[in-house]
Amino acid sequence: MKLTAKQKAIAGAVGTVAIMGVIYTQVVSPANSRADSANAQVASIQSAIAGDRTQVLQLERLAARQPATLARAFRLAKAIPPGMQTPGMILELQALAKASNVTLSQVRTISTTPFGSLSATVYEVDVIGRLFNVDDFMYRVHHQVVVSKTGKIAINGRLFAVTGVQMSLASGSGSTGTSTAGTSSVLATLQLMTFASGTGATGSTGGSSAGGASGASGASGASGSTGTTGSTGATGTSTSPGGTSTTSSGAGGPG
């Protein structure tokens, strides 16, 4: 049967549509799906890159602040070290005593008490020297760590808190008619508190000398007083018949 021209046109149109449908389903649609998947992958990669850039910026800012942070941590460790570090503290006190021209005679550990993440240790420190020099020593100890009016902290060494001071004339420095407060040696007993990071309280321990020797032994009892020596009697002079002069002493007083 012969197809008319109209039927041929309709058949051609239907075939074209069928071919286009096959091309779309077999070629165009998978390509669109692959394009969508690629776009999603690109978006994911771009998001990961943005996150990496943010992390890099954070690391760069942290690295820029790292020297200042380390320097601040070092200064704080100088004022409040990890652990008691008593030998280092004694060396620091000896340097301050030398600068003040006084003698650091003895350091005694009294107690250690925890305060949260810190621990405080109380020492008794004996210092001998002239009054004004001892006062200079206490000034230096007090100004090892200073906070200015603007809040800036100046750290020169360990943080010391002077909680008590007792003073008396040192042995062999009794008052004389010419001695003054500036020239007589005094014995100052300072009660100092130092701080350390970390806890671990301990009981009281024996004292030690500034050079690290063992604690001082107990004081011996006072010896008995010696009786007063009697005064010597007046000396007399007499002349013998031969003209020879003789002297005689009076009897001594009671011993």
Alpha-carbon distance of 47 to 86, in angstroms, equals 56
Q: How many CB atoms lie within 10 A of CB 100?
A: 22
CA-wise closest residue to 108 among 233, 192, 22: 192
Burial (CB count within 10 angstroms: exposed 0-12, middle 13-18, buried 19+), residue 76: middle
Return the pLDDT at 137.
94
* Architecture in CATH of 86-172+183-209: 2-Layer Sandwich (3.30)
The number of helix segments (H) and strand segments (E) in the chain equals 4, 9
The pTM of this model reads: 0.49
Distance between CA atoms of residues 180 and 16, nearest Å: 126
pLDDT at residue 234 in the model = 42
Q: Where are the domains of the chain?
A: 8-77, 86-172+183-209
3-state secondary structure of 133: helix
Give the tens place of pLDDT for each residue, 196-225: 986 544 444 445 555 443 333 444 444 444
Using alpha carbons, select from 197, 194, 217 the residue that is nearest to residue 87: 194
Q: How many residues make up the chain in this entry?
A: 255
Which residues, other chains included, contact 196 with Cβ-Cβ below 8 Å and sequence gap of 6+? 80, 81, 82, 83, 84, 85, 118, 119, 121
Contacts (Cβ under 8 Å, ≥6 apart) of 141:
93, 96, 160, 162, 190, 192
Q: For position 77, what pLDDT does the model report?
A: 82
- Looking at residue 174, what is its pLDDT? 52
Tokens of 212: 């690290």
Q: Check residue 33 and give its pLDDT.
A: 76
Residues in the chain, pLDDT under 70: 1-3, 6-8, 59, 62-66, 68-70, 172-183, 198-255
**pLDDT at res. 141:** 93
Give the whole-angstrom CA distance, residue 19 versus residue 14: 9
So what's the pLDDT on residue 222? 44
Cβ(76)–Cβ(69) below 8 Å: no
Please report which residue ranges of the chain form alpha helices under DSSP H.
Answer: 5-23, 29-79, 86-100, 131-142
**Would you state the pLDDT for residue 2?**
67
pLDDT at 219: 41
Indicate the angle between helix axes 86-100 and 131-142, nearest 10 degrees: 130
138 vs 131: CA distance, rounded Å: 11
